[in-house]
Structure 1
Amino acid sequence: MAMTGVLRPGHVQIRVLDLEESVHFYGDVMGLVETGRDSDGRVYFKCWDERDHHSLVLRESDQAGIDFFGFKVLDNTSLEQLEVRLKEHGVDTTRMPAGDLLETGERVRFDLPSGHVMELYAEKTAVGNGLPSMNPSPWNQASENGIAPVRLDHMLLYGPNIAENKKIFEDILDFFLVERVLSEGGDAEVALWLSCSHKVHDIAFVEHPEPGKLHHISFLMDSWEKVLRAGDIMSMNQVAVDIGPTRHGITRGCTIYAWDPSGNRFETFMGGYHPYPDYETITWTWDSFPQGLDYPQRKLHETFLTVVT
């Protein structure tokens, strides 16, 4: 699949209750690489195999949750074209200046109907993954520190008006709908999995009355064995686990869901199939949603549906 326009999830900024506790958690337990701190007190991290400067930003606050998330686009021409398309469709945009985030160029920011703040950007300093570009090894020491995910994979966000979100992602940003869950009556889409690549999803939304809520940030693991190892590390560090290890019916991904010290849910994820834009959307009816969530147990976990930040 040719990669143009919007490429991938690039970063997410979350609020944490105790900054240094969270720095310890994401640095030592999750095994992310700290890449900087700014004058606003924010701390920046990347996964070991990511090339760009950061994918996770922590900001201390009295309430957990998500501030904003960003997708990287191919180049500045793509950024300008997408900004024009957003405005033509009636979406107000704001240009965030280069350097407002460390090592990041200008960002085009806008509000989604679900109450989330999204941005697009083309430039972020490449810091590499610690391996040479000629004759590299398959891993380095950072890949063995803590859980050590490969990359930021996707986000699941809760909020109202996800049908309007879908229009923005499909009609303007050229995502396609991979899977969906229908309401009990079958007359509405209550959950959406969307992709801008050939990943099984790059972002997902669930209909929810409160706007701007974070369900989880997902980090990609290399294998099922690495997911199980992540579960061991969570137990060794008394991390609160929500679901798993288990397998989804939706996306076919293998997973553990858990909470960081502030109560923000995260996921260690691997697997899933590789869809293309010409594939038919997979539909799940409400009565089969338990199997879609937790395929072995066929169970709708109450916390999964109700706990968000």
Structure 2
Amino acid sequence: MPLHGVTRLGYVHARVTDLSAAKGHYGSTMGLYPVHETPTSVYYKGWDEWDHHSVVLEEGGVGVVKLGFKVNDPGDLDGIEAAARTFGVSVERMSAGENLEVSDGLRMVTPSEHVVEVYHSMTAYGTEVGTHNPEVFPRHLVGVGAPRIDHALITAEDVKGMDRFFHDVLGLYASERVVTSLDDDADYIGTWMTAGNTVHDIAIIGGPNGKLHHFAFELADWAAIKHAGQLFAMDDVPVDVGPTQHGITRGETIYFFDPSGNRNEVFSGGYVAYPDRPTVNWTPEQLGKGIFYIQRELNERFTSVLT
């Protein structure tokens, strides 16, 4: 069980420059379900997500507003708050309802200047197939029909410090890392961390503080990745890289951009992670193969475009 009861990444709040265009992308192309709207925001969920929402878009700029992680039990918040204060990050209690349909919890500012929230419950909305004799997918999926959010990747000036933060405060563990060497005191170029058995809930790579590289949606398999790529061609979605496969995580992938320039990913595959599995380490000369296993090289846009 995770150290402090964190179960998974629960939500991503992101900024967009044009809410109408964003709704076309996330609603019509990605096939997310809108569950609540205001004049300046829209809340979405995937068809196989139980909770009220997993993606919130706020009009006014680009990039990440905050990330939310769900814990098992309200009592887990006390342990996380104590760990955050020991670690030395800013932490405050948030009241139920500060986030729509979200319980009370904690709000922290990480060493990388990202806002991370932790909560224990969200209003149940239900999946599209229900919990009684369900079908394996909804008959009338729209577009890609993404079932759920999978992970986010952010940048930080001190990757090793962020690895420590997510481990010591939230109880995540690293499934894979890119390290400067195989020495015990090596620095980290990137880290992929999980709260449970998925290969990663959050990843951090070197870069400026406070930035978003991408957030990703889970798809079922390689065929679904290919189908998503076909839909991106139909809808003129700008594709960054793919379809291809990662060496790190072994996931199958396409990276692409929403109309505001935020990078998204569709991701499938990977492997089952567990805390007693040794962390996989990659060294810098193999980074291209680690990120894009088939092409074995990075393009300039992938490493430089952040929001």
Same fold (TM over 0.5): yes
176-185 or 188-197, which deviates more: 176-185
Instruction: State the distance in 1 between where 2:182 and 2:103 align.
Output: 46
CA distance in 2, matches of 1:185, 1:3: 26
How far the C-alpha of 1:96 sits from its partner, in A, is: 2.2
Deviation of 1:105 after TM superposition, in Å, equals: 1.2
The partner residue of 1:178 within 175, 178, 185 is 175
SS of the residue aligned with 1:298?
coil
Of the three residues 262, 271, 274, the one matched with 2:260 is 262
- The SS at the match of 2:295 is coil
> Which stretch of structure 1 is more off in the superposition, 24-33 or 83-92?
83-92
Question: Does the CA contact (< 8 Å) of 1:149 and 1:222 recur in 2?
Answer: no
Aligned AA (1:222)? A
Tell me how far apart the structure 2 counterparts of residues 180 and 27 of structure 1 sit (CA, whole Å): 34
Match of residue 206 from structure 1: 205
Q: Summarize the Cα distance change of 1:184–1:264 in structure 2 as closer, same or farther, 3 Å threshold.
A: farther
Q: 2:166 aligns with which of 166, 169, 192?
A: 169
In structure 2, what is the Cα distance between the partners aligned to 1:125 and 1:79?
Answer: 18
Q: CA deviation at 1:91?
A: 2.4
The answer to whether the aligner puts 1:132 opposite 2:122 as a matched pair is no
Contact 2:63 2:211 in 1 (8 A): yes
How many residues align structurally?
A: 305
CA contact (8 A) 1:73 1:121 kept: yes
Deviations 1:226-246 (A, max 9, x none): 110000000000000000000
Q: For residue 145 of structure 1, what is the aligned residue in structure 2?
A: 142
The one-letter amino acid paired with 1:45 is Y
> Is the contact between residue 3 and residue 197 of structure 1 (CA under 8 Å) also seen in structure 2?
no
For residues 228 and 109 of structure 1, what CA distance do their matches in structure 2 show?
A: 38
TM-score of the two chains, using structure 2 as the length reference: 0.95
Match of 2:242 among 236, 239, 244: 244
Aligned pairs (5 A) from 1:3-14: 5-14=5-14
Aligned partner of 2:48: which letter?
A: D
Secondary structure of the residue aligned to 1:84 is: helix
CA offsets, 1:163-212, max 9 Å, x none? Answer: 2111111122221111111238984211001111011111100111x211
1:224 is aligned to: 222
Residues 185-194 or 76-85, more deviating:
185-194
SS in 2 for 1:291: helix
CA contact (8 A) 1:156 1:206 kept: yes
2:154 paired residue number: 157
Query: Shift of the alpha carbon at 1:4?
Result: 6.9
Secondary structure of 2:103's partner? coil
Aligned position for 2:65 = 67
- With structure 1 as the length reference, what TM-score do the two structures score? 0.94
Q: Distance in 1 between matches of 2:181 and 2:136?
A: 47
Aligned to 1:19: 19
Query: Residue 7 of structure 1 contacts residue 196 of structure 1 at CA under 8 Å; is this kept in 2?
Result: yes
Which amino acid in the other structure matches residue 154 of structure 1?
Answer: H
Measured after TM superposition, the shift of residue 302 of structure 1 is: 1.2
In the TM superposition, residue 97 of structure 1 has moved relative to its aligned partner by 2.2
- Provide, for residues 257-285 of structure 1, a one-character-per-residue CA deviation record: whole Å limited to 9, x for no partner: 00000000000000001121111111111
Question: Whole-Å Cα distance in 2 between the matches of residues 179 and 255 of structure 1?
Answer: 17
CA distance in 1, matches of 2:139, 2:98: 31
Distance in 2 separating the partners of 1:121 and 1:185? 37
Alignment of 1:34-49 (within 5 A): 34-38=34-38, 41-49=40-48
**Aligned residue number for residue 94 of structure 2:** 96
> Any idea what SS the aligned residue of 1:141 has?
coil
1:33 aligned partner:
33
Q: CA deviation at 1:70?
A: 0.5
Question: 1:124 and 1:163 mapped to 2: Cα distance?
Answer: 31
- Deviation digits for residues 29-87 of structure 1, max 9, x if unmatched? 1100000024x7321000110000000000011x2101101001112111222222222
Partner of residue 278, structure 2: 280
- Gaps of at least 5 residues in structure 2 are none
Q: What is residue 194 of structure 2 aligned with on the other side?
A: 195
SS of 1:217 mapped into structure 2: strand
